[in-house]
Amino acid sequence: MRAFYDDLGEAEWTRLESSPRGRVAYEVHRQFLERFVKPGDHVLEVGAGPGRFTFDLARLGAAIDVTDFSPVQLDLHRQLVGDSPTEAAVLSRELLDVCDTSRYGDDTFDVVLAFGGPLSYAFEQTDDALAGLMRITKPGGYVVASVMSLLGSWRYFLQAATEDMKVVGEDANDLVFETGDLRHSQTVHVCQMFRAREISDLVAQCGGEMAAMSASNWASLNEASVLEELEADPDRWARFLKHEIEACAEPGALDGGTHLLFASRKL
């Protein structure tokens, strides 16, 4: 996946701003994050990419160790954040694989943030990776992350999934549905997708307490023209976002978006 994100380059920066669905996803993530970060917090950002959430962490008053396993994404981060006032909140910038956090001591960070799926690329090492993130979080602190959702992605990408099935066959498709592992498919974006209940089990297994979960997105996966109409009116857009963010956190909606957000509290 390193090559995938190296090649993706600047396109990663526009992911959460180029479509109404992306802009809603950004708001869902941003408002979720602000519940767990307070001024003065020491935050490790894993898979920071070009830095969209680094700007938000800095606005929330955090001091940030920025990491990513893609040198290209880390360079983009240096370019986009380096010349901005946000740079004052960046303590360091390093290459890091989410699967190996051994360089950090126990109980180091108030918050460890892994938005946009680093944990969806850990495959067999997912449990160890999350346990590692929990280990380096202070008691009472949070691991805040988002991963790809199996059922919501199936819903949103039904056409592509059906095309893929014609190539790989029904048995491989059954395996994707059972395991969430896209290595059984032909997609270029190979990742591990999860059900909400699997994330709950994973957090409990790693000694965490689930503080909050959310889908991204619920009502805003399709209908771009309707979203654009709502967005054109600031009052209607603000009301829509409020409803959407509330809906995304309903137990019945958790599996409905392309991503699953969670906050695991270290006991």
Ligand X SMILES: C[S@@+](CC[C@H](N)C(=O)[O-])C[C@H]1O[C@@H](n2cnc3c(N)ncnc32)[C@H](O)[C@@H]1O
- For ligand X, the binding residues (CB under 6 A) are 1, 5, 12, 16, 46-49, 52-53, 68-70, 73, 96-99, 115-118, 121
CA distance 196 to 49: 24
Rounded alpha-carbon distances, angstroms, from residue 7 to 1, 10, 69, 94, 183 = 10, 9, 13, 19, 19
CA distance 227 to 247: 16
Nearer of residues 75 and 198 to ligand X, judged by Cβ: 75
Specify the 3-state DSSP secondary structure of 6.
Answer: helix
Determine the number of helices (DSSP H) and then strands (DSSP E) in the chain: 12, 8
Measured from the CB of residue 72, what is the shortest distance to ligand X in angstroms?
8
- Amino acid letter, 73: Q
Nearer of residues 49 and 208 to ligand X, judged by Cβ: 49
Nearer of residues 73 and 217 to ligand X, judged by Cβ: 73
Nearer of residues 16 and 28 to ligand X, judged by Cβ: 16
Measured from the CB of residue 98, what is the shortest distance to ligand X in angstroms?
4
Nearer of residues 96 and 202 to ligand X, judged by Cβ: 96
Measured from the CB of residue 142, what is the shortest distance to ligand X in angstroms?
16
Cis before 222 (ω within 30): no
Specify the 3-state DSSP secondary structure of 60.
Answer: coil
Measured from the CB of residue 252, what is the shortest distance to ligand X in angstroms?
25
Closest-CB residue for ligand X? Answer: 116
Q: Which residues pair with 101 in a beta bridge?
A: none
